Structure 1
Amino acid sequence: MILNVSTYRFVALPEAADWVAPLKHRAQSLGLRGTVLLAEEGINLFLAGAADSVNAWLDALRQDPRFADLPAKESWSDTQPFQRLKVKFKREIIRMDCPTVRPALGRAPALPAATLKRWLDQGHDDEGRPVAMLDTRNAFEVDAGAFEGAVDWRLNKFTEFPAALRQHATDLAGRSVVSYCTGGIRCEKAALLMHEALPPGTPVYQLEGGILKYFEEVGGAHYRGHCFVFDERGTLDPQLQPNPGA
């Protein structure tokens, strides 16, 4: 069995470019494949391999105090879902082209999966407001599966999100807005931007850990279809099992 892990963290990492070579060398020596993106705003990674090797790589990363408590979402597959290993330095670990949005300086409120399920079960948040599930993923990802009734702006890439938000901001007034994506990274930026753009007093949250953490903690309640992932597994069902033909 192959252990697949994904995680990210927005944190000041001014020496990010210097991390590329040692992180790549360590991953190669452990036989890992996947993608590690580094930027001065943090790290974003998807890795797969033997469980002992994956955990050894993560343990080494966590030796840096900035990543000491870094959590990782886990799933399992019968085969290696990545063809190769890529470790790169980028301008942003998730590109939105809004340099004033800096999650490392503070996050928007995060909503645990269990709380979101309870709100969706009861049809409103704890103050009685209707809940708007805002999908921040690209259109083709949404087509593979999404939360019931989710707001979908048919994005082709995440850099289109700011313009779409400006166009549709008034549509979200009067509701508690919960932004979500695959693993949570896009929502870190999207939720902060929404705090600036939405009408004053609009509650804005990010789904903690994204769809994958929701599947892990509460299953597929209120979600229809599968979750697209950027590897050879294709999509995952609510049991985090691959569905390459879905």
Structure 2
Amino acid sequence: MNHERPGSNALSILNIAGYQFVRLGELDQLKESLYQVASELHLKGTILLSEEGINLFLAGLETNIQSFLAFLRNDPRLASFQTKDSWSATQPFRKLLVKIKKEIIRMNHPTIAPEKGRAKFISPQKLKEWLDRGQDDLGRPVVMIDTRNGFEVEYGTFKNALHFNINKFSEFPQAIEAHLPELSDKTLVSFCTGGIRCEKSGLYLRERGLEHSYQLDGGILQYFEDIGGDHYVGDCFVFDERETLEPSLAAKPQGRLKPKKNQA
């Protein structure tokens, strides 16, 4: 991804978010080495590790971020690790955390294993074509499915997107079950902030027999980067002190009414 800093020279902090579903072992050793390198480079944020992969949100000076990514990609399992980038004037994280979890994004549905293969995905460009036209290439109506928690949806979402006001992602399968009949004749595009939840939701939709279902590749942030705000209303919540990003990927000015955060 392009690391070019937009606009003001005051935006000196590079923020990266990335995940990769890949079978990982020796998690304690990996945790220790990643913490040591990130700490020495004065990075802050969170790295989640599990046997199914890695998920991270980090921020720091660009040269330090690049040094960390070089170290990470030196591991053959993570050689193709990609990030989504944005800039801020200040460090949006308070400390550095590296944690080992059962899942890097919890769904509590063991048959869903993205490290064994992805669901079908759609690019932001193709999605915009469908939304402009009001139907997919086969003439089927398109329904956007927001997989995020209810408080995230309050900040912004795609126009007319279906959401379930869930409190945590592990509630998503049950929510879908209640809507299966009305979705069976639609083309479905599930989306989330950066794509990680859709790696599982997309597979789940297919598992439930919804064959015309896709995940938005790269999530809302990739859509913002490639397309902008077309067909999207509001901002995108992010889990750091910037709180939200506008379609330009700039941090939203603070001082707004903030919905209650539930990160369960």
Task: Give the shorter-chain TM-score range.
Answer: over 0.9
SS state at 1:151 partner: coil
1:96 equivalent to 2:107? Answer yes
Structure 1 gaps, min length 5: none
SS state at 2:179 partner: helix
Which of residues 209, 215, 229 is equivalent to 2:218?
Answer: 209
Give the C-alpha shift of residue 165 in structure 1: 1.2
Corresponding residue number in structure 1 for 2:190: 179
Distance 2:98 2:235 in 1: 28
Corresponding residue number in structure 2 for 1:235: 244
1:168 equivalent to 2:161? Answer no
Q: How many residues align?
A: 244
Q: Would you identify which runs of 4 or more consecutive aligned residues in structure 1 move more than 6 Å?
A: none
Contact conserved, 1:172 with 1:198, CA < 8 A, in 2?
Answer: no
Equivalent positions of 1:1-80 (< 5 A) are 1-80=12-91
- Give the AA of the match of 1:155: I
Per-residue CA deviations over 1:187-241 (Å, capped at 9, x if unaligned) read 0011101111145xx3111100100011011111100000000000010000001
Corresponding residue number in structure 2 for 1:157: 168
Which of residues 255, 258, 261 is equivalent to 1:245?
Answer: 255
- Give the AA of the match of 2:184: A
Distance 2:86 2:205 in 1: 31
- Give the AA of the match of 2:56: L
1:145 equivalent to 2:149? Answer no
Per-residue CA deviations over 1:26-85 (Å, capped at 9, x if unaligned) read 000000000000000000000000000011101110111222121110000000000111
Distance 1:227 1:86 in 2: 23
Contact conserved, 1:7 with 1:71, CA < 8 A, in 2?
Answer: yes
Distance 2:224 2:167 in 1: 25
Contact conserved, 1:17 with 1:39, CA < 8 A, in 2?
Answer: no
Equivalent positions of 1:217-232 (< 5 A) are 217-232=226-241
Structure 2 gaps, min length 5: 1-11, 257-264
Give the C-alpha shift of residue 18 in structure 1: 2.1
Contact conserved, 1:169 with 1:198, CA < 8 A, in 2?
Answer: no
| Cα RMSD after superposing both structures | 0.9
Per-residue CA deviations over 1:112-149 (Å, capped at 9, x if unaligned) read 11111111011111111111100000000001000000
Which of residues 116, 124, 131 is equivalent to 1:113?
Answer: 124
SS state at 2:178 partner: helix
Give the C-alpha shift of residue 16 in structure 1: 2.3
SS state at 1:31 partner: coil
- Give the AA of the match of 1:245: G
- Give the AA of the match of 2:15: N
Moved more, 137-146 or 13-22: 13-22
SS state at 2:199 partner: helix
- Give the AA of the match of 2:157: A
Distance 2:46 2:229 in 1: 27
Contact conserved, 1:179 with 1:190, CA < 8 A, in 2?
Answer: yes
- Give the AA of the match of 1:16: L
